[in-house]
Amino acid sequence: MKDLTDAMADMNEDKALELTQKYLDEGESPVEIFRAYQAAMEEIGKRFEQNLYFVPELIMAGEMMKAGAGLIKPHLKDDDDGGGAGKIGKFLIATIEGDIHDIGKNIMGMMLDLNGFEVMDLGVDVPLQKIVDAAKEFKPNVIGLSGLLTLAFDPMKALVDKLKDEGVRDDYKVIIGGAQMDQHVCDYVGADAWVTDAVAGVNQSKAWVAA
C-alpha cells in the first residue's frame, strides 16, 4: 500500500481516500490500511523537519487522517482499538499558568493523537496544582508543558519542584515546548527535554515510550 502512504504524504487528499476505499473494497485488513496512514505520518514529520512541510501540512494531515479513519472504522472489529495500532502511551499537555498561547500546544496535541498517544489537554493558563492532580489521576508517560513567554519559565520550574516535593517526579518524563526553549531553560526548569516544534516533541515522546 505504498501508493496510499505516498498519496497521504504528498497531501493528495482525494487520492488517499479513493485508495483507502479501494483497499477496503478489496478486503485488505483495515489494520494494515491504518498502518499505511501511520507510515505517511512518519514521512510528513520528516518533511516538516527538513523545512519542506510547515504547519498547514500538519493540520491538513490531521484532517486527512480523520477522513481516512472515518472510512476504516466501520470495518474494524470491536477489539481492534484505534485501528489495531493501539495506544502507545499517555501524554498530559497544558500551557502553564501565566501564559495563554495555545497554537503550539494544540498542534502538539493533535500530532501526538495522530501518532497513537492518548492525550489529555488541560488548556491554557493551567494552575500547577491542577496539572499535578491530573497527572496523578491520568498517569501519563509524559507531561508536556507549553509556554511562549519567558514568564512561563518560573512556573514550569515550580511544577517540576512540586512533582519532586510530592515524590512523583520520577513517575513521568517532563518535556517543555515553546519558541524560546533551549538547553539553558531546560536545565533551569529541571525538565527531561526541550523542543521548539511539535514534530520534535512527538519524536522525543515516542522514543521515551519505546524505551
Partner 1 sequence: MIVIAEKINGTRKAVAKAIREKDADFIRDLAKTQADAGSTYLDVNAGTAPERESDDMIWLVNTIQEVCELPLALDSANPQALKAGLAVAAKKPMINSVSGEQSRIDGVLPLALEYKTELILLALDDHGIPENVEGRLKIVRDLVKRALDGGLEQKQLYIDPLVTAISTGTENAKITFGTIEAIIDEFPDVHITGGASNISFGMPLRPLINRFFIAMAIQAGMDSAIINPNDRELNEAIMTAETLMGRDKFCMNFNRAFRAGKIGPKKPE
Residues near partner 1 (CB under 8 A): 51, 54-56, 59, 100, 102-103, 106-107, 148-151, 154, 180
Q: Phi and psi at residue 193, in whole multiples of 5°?
A: -160, 160
Contact 187, 194 (CB under 8 A): no
- For the record, the C-alpha cell of 122 comes out as 488541560
Q: Between 52 and 207, name the residue whose CB sits nearer to partner 1.
A: 52
- Give the nearest distance from C-beta 167 to partner 1 in angstroms: 27
Residue closer to partner 1 by CB (options 41, 152) is 152
Q: What crossing angle do the helices spanning 55-72 and 103-114 adopt, rounded to 10°?
A: 40
CB of 25 to partner 1, least distance (A): 32
Q: Own/partner pairs for 127-130, CB < 8 Å, 24+ apart?
A: 127/97, 128/96, 128/97, 128/155, 128/158, 128/159, 128/162, 129/162, 130/94
Closer CB to partner 1, 30 or 147, in the complex: 147
Q: Which is nearer to partner 1, 151 or 207 (CB)?
A: 151
Question: How near is the Cβ of 68 to partner 1 at its closest, in Å?
Answer: 21
Which of residues 118 and 154 has its CB atom nearest to partner 1 in the complex? 154
Q: Report the alpha-carbon distance of residue 201 to residue 89 in Å, rounded.
A: 14
- φ, ψ at 143 (rounded to 5°): -105, 125
| Nearest distance in Å: CB 69, partner 1 | 21
Rounded least distance, CB 104 to partner 1, Å: 9
User: What cell numbers appear for 194 in the block?
Assistant: 526541550
Judge whether 203 and 83 are in contact, CB under 8 Å: no
